[in-house]
Amino acid sequence: MTQLMTFVNAMPGNISQGLIWGILAIGVFITYKILDFADLTVDGSMATGGAVCVMLITNGCPVWLAIVCAFIAGCLAGMITGLLNTLLGIPGILASILTQMALYSINLDIMGQSNRPVSVDKYSLIVSSREVNVVGNSPIMIILALVKIFVIVAVIIAALYWFFGTEYGFTIRATGCNQNMARAQSISTKKSTVIALVLSNGLVGLSGALLAQYQGNADVNMSRGAIVIGLAAVIIGDVLGTVIFGKRFNFVARLAFTAIGGIIYFMVLQIVTIIGLPSQNNKLFSAVVVIIFLAVPYLRKSAKTSFGRAAKNSLRKGAPKDA
């Protein structure tokens, strides 16, 4: 009973964290699912967004403007990866690793030290872990805090739905589906790749800005392992949405379920914590979750193929032989 109450009390925090990380996961969705680009820049660009946001807020910048600047900082990080890949011919995964490494030093330069605090008592932050704390807050205050994050995520999904319906959006989707065919249609695949990476890491930077406000500080290591959490949310949402909607699982639903995947991830993580597994194994658990959900679609497809082959073989054996 005590464990159940602990889980229920932690629910608002898990939902809010899941949605914030869900924004990062939507950014990962753009590169991983739409563009088919292995981008590890997020392990640096999230911290960049948090660092830029906190430093601007603590120096008197309005919170909303600090968030916009964090988005732009993430866009610049994605642009660097894109240019390294398209102009210099560096493979995508290596280009993103190089950018990620460079961002570690850049983040230290931005903050001047490894950690910078930002207090909700001193600044009017958009989100804060205190607002979703069951202890000391009324249910209405908690609901309002969650609604703010839901609205932000909904606006992002609506904006992306509009963007990917434009000409630029279609060129990115075409580039991800088949680069050779896209080039045959006079699409600049290099330009499309850069735009997708810019947009993806812009969302990651925005997520970092919100996370820094939520946890009350920006840390140079706050985005370490972010790609694993982002992938976990993307894959959990994709598998869950496919099971529920099947062929009706459209683009908007995929974006929404990516954010929902973030919530589920943190809820499962909370269950693991309640069970009593060591917290130092969280990264190991994250990797296992990603492996399992990556394997599920492949195993289901393999099982259907094997069943189909067995059925065909049975029909062949049972068919009458020609005289």
Judge contact between 257 and 241, C-beta under 8 A. Answer: yes
- Where does residue 313 rank: exposed (0-12), middle (13-18), buried (19+ CB within 10 A)? exposed
Those residues whose C-beta lies under 8 Å from the C-beta of residue 42, and which sit 6 or more positions away, are 24, 27, 28, 200, 201, 204, 223, 226, 227, 230
Checking if the pLDDT of 97 tops 90, the result is yes
- Of the given ranges (157-161, 198-202, 241-245), which has the lowest mean pLDDT? 241-245
Task: Say if residue 315's pLDDT is above 70.
Answer: no
Structure-model confidence comparison of residues 222 and 305, the more confident one: 222
Confidence at residue 321, expressed as pLDDT on a 0 to 100 scale:
55
CB neighbours of residue 297 within 10 Å: 13
Convert the pLDDT of each residue in 103-137 to its tens digit: 999 999 999 999 999 988 888 899 998 888 877 77
Q: What percent of the chain has pLDDT over 90?
A: 58
Q: What is the mean pLDDT of residues 94-108?
A: 95
| pLDDT over threshold 90, residue 79 | yes
Q: Is the pLDDT of residue 94 over 80?
A: yes
pLDDT reported for residue 323: 44
Is the pLDDT score of 279 beyond 80?
no
Q: Using one digit for the tens of pLDDT, what is the confidence trace for 130-171?
A: 888 877 778 888 899 899 999 999 999 999 999 999 988 999
DSSP state of 322: P
Three-state DSSP class for residue 80: helix
* pTM to 2 decimal places: 0.89
Q: Tens digit of pLDDT for each residue in 40-69? A: 999 999 999 999 999 999 999 999 999 999
With a cut of 70, say whether residue 308 has pLDDT above it: no
